[in-house]
Chain A
């Protein structure tokens, strides 16, 4: 099968700082593709390159066979690219339903208003927000806000869905629900590309994993393959001479060690 999303040699530098360095990958239809890596590895920059908030310095990006490297964000969206942000960014003056309706109305060309409303209702239902539809977004809690992020992206009828750390800050039970939601999305044939720090979630969801470090690809493969790769373990644990990172052994590092085992600590999505 052909790829729905293909990055070839994507690089992005800000002045002298290279945030993403020669990254290539492909995501197949209906695949769940994870991007992981330590803080500052360039994951979110990569996602911004994909969704069009940033333009790559070099490299090429194809979405559903179309070259979208220089395409503005709204056209990528209409082509079939949805995105949920890491920092939830609802439109503050609107209700939940109005927020979702924006995506339904503008996410595809030539949608009638009744069809848009149907798509918005569907996205609200999918994400369990239908009861909150008339609430102002100020009243939502974090889980609901994350659901709203996903609902807005789903309402644009994406073929590829980008999720940026949607599990961050969620309690285990909530994360489990979110994992179920992502699975359901994939089961409809939507390709999911996600950034995640919660390793059990990556293990449970991802078909393939791209590990980034210092802006470049470090490893790629199934969850089991990448987590047993010594370079990945090293990057997470910071065993190398990089003192600044060696000092703060992060939650990432701990979860990478714990995850492959038959854990007690792994929570999210375990029994899902």
Chain B
């Protein structure tokens, strides 16, 4: 990892006030992204990945609140920034690609209008200049006949094309960080590979750091240099990608890796028993304890801190980690 992270999230805590009570969505998440780096947040649905990314963008739904923690972008603390300053960063310095390309484009505006508005939100350029750049951009994400495509509406595009449009829009102003939340989950497998390849190439070319959010470890292995494993709003383990796959230390990570189907492997698929905990209860102890095969008495009492396991770059939060 680079010495100076471009984005640094420290002990982030996010809670939601609902009619049923407080939801403890994110409980002290920490990770760093170096300039031009690629990191992954992995975990089951409900593990707090998406909430973490929305908190970084300060786009949490009304009921959600950052209770404590820091989000530092290039030395600037984002959690205390005014809405006006924050808006200046969104789309320009930090941008986002959402999970479902079918629903993240406005059905009544043309593709061209939707790309151009991202440019015009931050730069004082005319309609025409914005359109020309939009056309150029569509070409660069491999959409043929880009000029004519600008006049078309989202429903006239396939899912893969729409996600290319979203990626193009997110990268149009050359942001320092791109948060991609399950960018290929809604796509066909064949299209997935193309979109990931595009994402990889463009971010590399522009020097954009990428925070990839996914539950798919296969994608993580291909796309990231470092992975942070989340469970019930906690970071369970964080390690360089290669290290994590070779020597997982947290029982949950081991469980995740064991539940990937592998062609040719003779072993059975081993799902993790049980279900994630109810986030409406204040967390006591390790949230994975009820499902953990290696639980010990301490697991019920305290959440273990995230500490270096073998070396300084491999962090694990476990009272009884798997021996390497």
Partners in one complex: no
